[in-house]
Amino acid sequence: MGMSQLADAYTGMALSTDEPAVALVIARQKHGYPDPVKAAAKPVIYPHDLFIPVALPIHGKVGSYGDFQPDKGQLSVEILCKMTKTENWQKFAEQALDWDKGVILERGAEPEVLGLCVVSKATWDAMIDSYRRRDQRAGDISLVKSAMLDAADSPSEHKIPVGAASDMLGLTLSRRYTFTGTDKAVEMPPLAHTLTELDCVGHMGSPLRSYLQLSSGEIYWDLAEKGSAGANHAYLDELLGALWDFQAFHYGIHLHNRYIMPSKNGGQHANDIDVARLSAATIEHAVGKSADYILDMGSERVLARLEAFSAELEAMQQRVAERIKSVSAEIMSFDEETGEDKDDLLAP
């Protein structure tokens, strides 16, 4: 059996065995705009127009045969397995990712074969860093969690009923929340809108959204009996963190005009330098367009961004040069010790 390598869904770089990566389990979109069956006739608008995520982000590493191996103890895997009624990730993968099997995602639905959108940890971090709220993660999670717990303890006609505190994640984009003992409505961050049915950036697929809203009492979501005293805080923290990360990633790929899609099997070809050369061409093209924009519009703001980016490129070039120099020295040292041909050592 030949070796194979998953490709990063957005850079196209072949991922190495044991390389840290993040995966989204995805299903084909069945409704919305554009019509998925006729999608090639109209350009997509949102990242989820062709494929939708049916699980929270899963962290792990790349396997040896084009597979993905999750880290142990993740809530995202636990939720996925409960939702699809599979025992563990291995059983899930054997069933959901098999062309002849599939899993049932929602009641009354036919079994569906799923796919994986896998990116390197570096790509994942870069996409999240594109999110405008990248520095507000902790504050967003804390605020939404506080509102959920407050709603569980203080039901009234103006508040969310006891037992439905999870509806905090179904707030509309214009919704504000008034905490107990105050008269000021607090505007909730985008995290509070993650599980809405609005077709917008940050949209979660309906199977997972429905499960979290309706069936997740199986995994410590229900705050009905004791209000916030019955909350599993570790669970809420991890859940809200995973939802924030998904939303940030979704915004990132939207900013880069990409859509959620399955990873390609890159075979055995290591294409690192090819991808880097394409990236270099993209950088030069982007700098040229930005320079033209600055000249046309006289934008000092864009000029400042371009100058900052130039400094980042200079620092990166220095790191690249130092890394190459270090590898070259190590290869020369190894050659002197063994007497082996350097060309054999450097062959791909």
pLDDT digits 0-9 by tens, 2-53: 456 889 999 999 999 999 999 999 998 887 777 767 777 778 888 888 899 9
Q: Are residues 153 and 218 in the same domain?
A: yes
- The mean pLDDT value of the chain amounts to 85
Q: Are residues 226 and 144 in the same domain?
A: yes
Query: Is residue 130's pLDDT more than 80?
Result: yes
Please give the model's pTM, rounded to 2 decimal places: 0.86
How much is the pLDDT for 150? 83
Number of structural domains (the chain) is 2
Q: Integer distance in angstroms from the first to the last C-alpha of the chain?
A: 21
Structural domain contains residue 131: no
Structural domain contains residue 164: yes
- Tracing tokens 């070809």 back to the chain, one arrives at 269
CA dist 247 and 229 (Å) reads 28
CA dist 243 and 236 (Å) reads 10
How much is the pLDDT for 219? 47
How much is the pLDDT for 125? 97
> Residue 231: exposed, middle, or buried by beta-carbon count in 10 A (0-12, 13-18, 19+)?
buried
C-beta separation of 119 from 8 below 8 A: yes
Please indicate whether residue 234 or residue 228 has the higher confidence score (pLDDT). 234
At residue 50's C-alpha, the angle toward residues 274 and 279, to 5°, is 20
Structural domain contains residue 153: yes
Structural domain contains residue 86: no
Cβ–Cβ contacts within 10 Å for residue 324, how many? 10
Question: 203, 231, 259: which is the final residue of a domain?
Answer: 231
Structural domain contains residue 202: yes
Query: Is residue 139's pLDDT more than 90?
Result: yes
C-beta separation of 40 from 56 below 8 A: no
Q: What is the domain range of residue 213? A: 138-231
Structural domain contains residue 183: yes
How much is the pLDDT for 192? 86
Structural domain contains residue 307: yes
How much is the pLDDT for 160? 63
Query: How large is the average pLDDT for residues 335-339?
Result: 60
CA dist 92 and 68 (Å) reads 12
Query: Is residue 268's pLDDT more than 70?
Result: no
Structural domain contains residue 266: no
Percent of the chain at pLDDT exceeding 90:
51
